[in-house]
Structure 1
Amino acid sequence: MANLSVRNLTIHPLELLTIDRFEGAKEQTGDLLTNTLGTVNSFLNATEFKTTRTVAKGEPHKQDKVNVTIDPFKTKETNERTADPKKEVIRLVFKTVGHKYEVDVPSADTKSTVMKKLDGGKLELTAVYVPTGALLAVFSSAKLDAWMKELDNDWPLQTLSIPGTHNSPTCYKALPSVRCQAVGVPEQLRNGVRFLDVRVSADPEDQNLALVHSAFPVSLTGTKWFGDMCDDIYDFLQKHPSETVIMSVKREGTGKGTDQQMGNHLKKNYVDKKRDFWWTEPKVPRLGEARGRIIIMRRFGLSEELKKCWDGRGFGVDAAAWPDNCEDGHIGGGHIRVQDFYEISETQNVQKKIDFARGQLERAAEQNFSLGHKDKTPPFFVNFLSASNFFSASCWPERIAAKVNPSVVEYLCIRHGEDGKGPRKLKVGTAGTGIVVTDWVGANGDWDLIRCVVGMNARLQMKR
C-alpha cells in the first residue's frame, strides 16, 4: 500500500495530528426499492450509483500520532500507509487556526466530505480523496452557495476559478443525447455554479425565447422558457447578493428569428424589465461591480439597434466569433480563449478530450495578476469538459461526463497549480482554473468537481 499524501489547498497551515485505523464495514445506502432503481439508472445512464458504502466499524484497532505540518498550497507525503480499499477506514484529525477537524478516508459515500468540527472551529473545510494518487486534498469550499463573498471586490472576473455547466437548463426528461444536466439551474447555483451556457430559439413575431439544445427542445413534456429560468436566477441573486452569474447566450433551435432579432428580444423582453439584475456593458467587470448581476457573454451578432448601446460600443461581452471544435481557440484579440473540442466520434477520443481539458487548465493557471499592480488583465479561459456524438450511445453527454469529470477532479487535486506538473510543464501564476464548463454535475449528490474548482480561489485571498 502507498503512503498517504495530503495536499493543503487552504490559506492556513494544516497539522495532521492523529490517524485512527478502523475495520471497514459495508452498509446499505438505501432501501431495496431505492437501490434497485438507482442500479438500473446507473446501468442505463452511466452515472455511478452505489448500493453499499464502507464505514468505520467499532473502535479503532490502532492509533498513530503523526504531527505532520502541511503549509498552504503544499503537498506532503506522510509515513502512514493509506486505507486498504473496502477493508479499512482511516480517521484523520487535523488542527488549523487553533481548532481540530476530522475526516474519514475514504469517506462513507466516496464523495467530497465536509470535515467534522471537533471543538467549534469557524472554518468550513472539505476534503476529496483520490485513491489513484493515495492523496487527500483539503479545500476551503464548503459554503458553495456564497463562495464569492470571501473574495476582494477588485479581482477581475477573469482571474477567478468559476464552475459552469454546459447547456445548463437541459435537466428535464428528454432524449439522452439532448439532456446534459442531472439537476436544474436553481440547484446548480446553490452548489456553486456561476457560469450558465444557454441556447434559445427565437421567433420574429414572439419576444418569448424558448430553451433548446441544438434543434431540439430541452424537454419532452412541453416547452421550457428562458423567462422562467431568469426568474430562478433573480431569486438566487436576491438571496445571495455577493454572487454573480455569467450567462453565455447563443441562438439555436428551429425558430425563424435571426441573431439580431433574438438580441432585440433579449434586451426588450428580459433585460429592460429587470435592469438592475443585468450587466450589458461590453467589458468584463470586476467582482465588486458584478455582484448581484447577470453578465451577458453573447454568442450572437448584434442588430443596428444594439450596436448603438453604450455610446456605440455595443451590448454584452463579445463572444460572437466563437471558435468551433477547438483545443485553444482565440476570440477577437484573445480576450477569450476556448477549449471546446466536442466532436467525439469514438470512445477512444475521450482521452484526447481529457488531455485538451487538462491543457487548458494549465494555461489558465499560468496567468498572473496582482491587486494594486499594473498587471495586464488575463483573458477568460473557457474550458468545456462536455462532448457528445448524437449517433453513438457510448458518446452521449452523461457517458462522456462519467469519464471526463473524475479525470479532471484527479488532475485538480494532484497536479493543478503546481509548477511543471501540467502536460506542458508550464510555470504557475495565480493558479486559477478559468471557467470550467461541465455536464452532469450533482448527479447522486456528487459535487466534487465544483468543490475542486471553487477551492482554487483560496489563493486569491492571499495574493495581493
Structure 2
Amino acid sequence: MADLTIRNLTSTPLELKLVERFEGQPTSGRSTPRSHIGKITGLFNSSSVAPNVRIQGDARDRRDVSFTMGPFETRGTDVRTADPGREVIRLTFESEGHRYQVDVPSSSQRSTVMTKLDNGPNEYTTIYVQSGSCLSIFSSANLPSWMRELRDEYPLSALSIPGTHNSPTCHVALPSVRCQAVNVREQLENGVRFFDIRVNVNSDSSELALVHSAFPISLTGTKYFKDMLDVIYSFLDANPSETLIMSVKREGTGKGTDHQLSKILKDRYYEDGRRWYTEPRIPRIGEARGKIVLLRRHANDPSLNSEWGGRGWGLDGSVWPDNCEDGLVGSGIARVQDFYEIDQSHNIQKKIDLARGHLERAAEPVCILPGAEGHKDGAPPQPFFINFLSASNFFNTNCWPEKIAAKANPAIIEYLCLRHGEDGKGPAGLKLGDGSTGVVVTDWVGQDGDWDLIRCIVGWNARLKLKQ
C-alpha cells in the first residue's frame, strides 16, 4: 500500500497528530463515478470503484505523529493508506489549538466534513482520492454566501467561480436538451455564480422563452426569462453579498434579431440599475454585490453604443470563439475553452484534457490588490478564464450531457484535489500564480445532493485570503 499524502488547501495551518487504524466492513451497494466523489478510484469504469467501508470494533493500532502543513502546502507522510474495502484510518488534526477528526475512507459516498472534537471555530471538508493516495482538505464554504468572505477590491475575474451550462434546463425534456439536475434557486443556494442562458426572440413580443438550441427547455410548458429573474432577484435580496455573471445568448426558432434582443432586454429587464451591472468592464466584487453582471453573447442595437460614455452596454461576448480549445473573446474580456463537438464517447478524454489545461492557465495570473507592491492604478484586470466541462452529440446517446458529466465531473474533481495549484504540475508545466480555477461551467451538478465539484471550485478562493 502507498503512503498517504495530505494537501492542506485552506488558509489555516494544520498538524496531523494521531492515526488510528480500524477493521472495515464494506457498505452495501456500489457507486457510479458521478456520485462517488469522496473516494475516486476510477474515472471511466464504475466497476473499478471500491465499496465504502464502515468501522468495525475498536482501533487495532494507534500512533501519535506530527506532520505539519502550512496553508496550501502538500505534505507526504509515512502513514500507510487503508487497505481498500478492509480498513479505515481515523486521522486527528490540530488547528489553532483545536482538534478535528476524519475517517479515510469514510462511510459516505461523497466528501466528508471533519468532526469537531472540542467545538473549534473552523470547518473543514475532505475529499479522499484513492488513486492518488491523497487526502485534500478544503475550508468548508458557506455556499449560499461564499463571496461574503472576499475583499471588495478583487476583480471578479480573479475568483474561482462555479457555473452551469444551459442553467435552467432541469425540467422534463429531451435527454439531449436537459443539462441540469436541479433548479436555478438550488444552484444559487449551493454556490453557482455563473449562469448560461439561451432565449428565443420574436420580433412582435417582449416575452423571452428559455430554450436550448432550437428546443424548449421543458416539455410540460414554456419557461420564461422573467420568471427565472424573479427567482434570482429573490436570492440576491436574501444574500446581498453575492453577485452572479449571466451570459445571455439568442437561440431558438424565433425570427427576432440580436439587435431586437438587446432592446427588449434593456427596455424591459435591465432598466433597474439596482439589479444589474451593465458597464462594459470587468467589475470588482464590491461594485457588483447584489447584482447580476451582464455578459452578452449577442450584438447590441446601435442605439446602445452611446451608453456608458460611448463605451456600449454590458460585457461584450458577441464575438465568441466556437468549439475552441483556448479562444479569445473578441473584446478581450475572456479566454474560453468550449470544445463541445464530441463525435465518439472515447473523445471525452480529449475534452477532459482540454479542461485540465484551461484550469492550469487560469491558475497562472496574479492579482495585485491596491496598496500592494506592484499594483498599478488603472491597469485592466486579468480576463476571465471560462472553462466549459459540457459537450454533447445529439445523434449519440453515449454523448448526451448526463453521460459526459458522469465522466468529466469526477475527472475534474480529481485534478483539483491532486494537481491544481501545484507549481509546474499542470499539463503544460506553467508557473503557479494565485491558483484560481477561473469560471468552471458544469452539467448535472447537484444530482442526489452531490455538490462536491462546486465545493472544490469555491474552496480554491481560500488562497486569495492569504493576500488579505
Name the TM tier (shorter chain). over 0.9
- Residue in 1 that maps onto 2:337: 339
Letter in 1 for 2:454: I
CA distance in 2, matches of 1:95, 1:384: 38
CA distance in 2, matches of 1:436, 1:47: 24
Q: Determine helix, strand or coil for the equivalent of 1:84.
A: coil
Q: Do the aligned partners of 1:281 and 1:316 also contact (CA within 8 Å) in 2?
A: yes
Residue in structure 2 matching 1:449, options 447, 453, 460: 453
CA distance in 2, matches of 1:107, 1:177: 35
CA distance in 2, matches of 1:132, 1:51: 11
Q: 1:296 to 1:102 in 2, by over 3 A?
A: same
Q: 1:227 to 1:333 in 2, by over 3 A?
A: closer
Matched residues, percent identical? 59
- Residue in 2 that maps onto 1:188: 187
Q: State yes or no: 1:294 paired with 2:292.
A: yes
Q: State yes or no: 1:21 paired with 2:15.
A: no
CA distance in 2, matches of 1:376, 1:431: 19
Q: State yes or no: 1:168 paired with 2:170.
A: no
Deviates more, 1:214-223 or 1:441-450: 441-450
Q: Do the aligned partners of 1:114 and 1:142 also contact (CA within 8 Å) in 2?
A: no
What is the deviation of 1:227?
1.1
What is the deviation of 1:376?
5.1
In the TM superposition, what whole-angstrom CA distance separates every residue of 1:342-388 from its partner, at most 9, and x where no partner exists? 00001121111111101111111111111121265211100001000
Q: 1:74 to 1:185 in 2, by over 3 A?
A: same
Q: State yes or no: 1:7 paired with 2:4.
A: no
What is the deviation of 1:304?
2.1
- Residue in 1 that maps onto 2:439: 435
In the TM superposition, what whole-angstrom CA distance separates every residue of 1:172-218 from its partner, at most 9, and x where no partner exists? 11111111111111111111110000111111121111110000111
Q: Do the aligned partners of 1:141 and 1:147 also contact (CA within 8 Å) in 2?
A: no
Letter in 2 for 1:402: A
Letter in 1 for 2:455: R
Q: State yes or no: 1:383 paired with 2:383.
A: no
Q: Do the aligned partners of 1:182 and 1:441 also contact (CA within 8 Å) in 2?
A: yes
In the TM superposition, what whole-angstrom CA distance separates every residue of 1:209-242 from its partner, at most 9, and x where no partner exists? 1110000111111111111111111111111111
CA distance in 2, matches of 1:383, 1:164: 9
In the TM superposition, what whole-angstrom CA distance separates every residue of 1:266-323 from its partner, at most 9, and x where no partner exists? 1222222x43111111111100111111000000000122223222221110010000
- Residue in 2 that maps onto 1:103: 102
CA distance in 1, matches of 2:127, 2:260: 46
CA distance in 2, matches of 1:219, 1:53: 37
- Residue in 1 that maps onto 2:417: 413
Letter in 2 for 1:446: D
CA distance in 2, matches of 1:133, 1:12: 23
CA distance in 2, matches of 1:53, 1:175: 34
- Residue in 2 that maps onto 1:43: none
CA distance in 2, matches of 1:396, 1:454: 27
Deviates more, 1:263-272 or 1:451-460: 263-272
Q: Do the aligned partners of 1:208 and 1:269 also contact (CA within 8 Å) in 2?
A: no
Q: Do the aligned partners of 1:112 and 1:447 also contact (CA within 8 Å) in 2?
A: no
Q: Determine helix, strand or coil for the equivalent of 2:274.
A: helix
- Residue in 2 that maps onto 1:81: 80
Q: Determine helix, strand or coil for the equivalent of 2:440.
A: strand
Deviates more, 1:299-308 or 1:238-247: 299-308
CA distance in 1, matches of 2:141, 2:200: 37
Q: Determine helix, strand or coil for the equivalent of 1:206.
A: coil
Q: Do the aligned partners of 1:28 and 1:51 also contact (CA within 8 Å) in 2?
A: no
- Residue in 2 that maps onto 1:239: 238
CA distance in 1, matches of 2:393, 2:341: 7
- Residue in 1 that maps onto 2:148: 149
Letter in 1 for 2:232: I
Q: Do the aligned partners of 1:29 and 1:51 also contact (CA within 8 Å) in 2?
A: no
In the TM superposition, what whole-angstrom CA distance separates every residue of 1:36-79 from its partner, at most 9, and x where no partner exists? xx9xxxxxxx9989998422223222222122111111111111
Letter in 2 for 1:424: A
Q: Determine helix, strand or coil for the equivalent of 1:227.
A: helix
CA distance in 1, matches of 2:273, 2:55: 53
- Residue in 2 that maps onto 1:462: 466
What is the deviation of 1:449?
1.1
CA distance in 2, matches of 1:117, 1:188: 28
In the TM superposition, what whole-angstrom CA distance separates every residue of 1:427-462 from its partner, at most 9, and x where no partner exists? 011111110001111112221111111111111111
Q: Do the aligned partners of 1:365 and 1:431 also contact (CA within 8 Å) in 2?
A: yes
Pairing 1:56-455 to 2, within 5 Å after superposition: 56-272=55-271, 274-332=272-330, 334-372=332-370, 373-374=375-376, 377-455=381-459
Deviates more, 1:104-113 or 1:159-168: 104-113
Letter in 2 for 1:356: L
What is the deviation of 1:29?
7.7
CA distance in 2, matches of 1:243, 1:107: 33
Q: Do the aligned partners of 1:152 and 1:287 also contact (CA within 8 Å) in 2?
A: yes
Q: 1:459 to 1:52 in 2, by over 3 A?
A: closer
Q: Do the aligned partners of 2:188 and 2:235 also contact (CA within 8 Å) in 1?
A: yes
CA root-mean-square deviation: 2.1
**TM-score, normalised by the number of residues in structure 2:** 0.92
In the TM superposition, what whole-angstrom CA distance separates every residue of 1:131-182 from its partner, at most 9, and x where no partner exists? 1101011111331111111111000111001000000001111111111111
CA distance in 2, matches of 1:144, 1:299: 28
In the TM superposition, what whole-angstrom CA distance separates every residue of 1:390-446 from its partner, at most 9, and x where no partner exists? 000000001111111111111111111111101100001111111000111111222
Q: Determine helix, strand or coil for the equivalent of 1:265.
A: helix
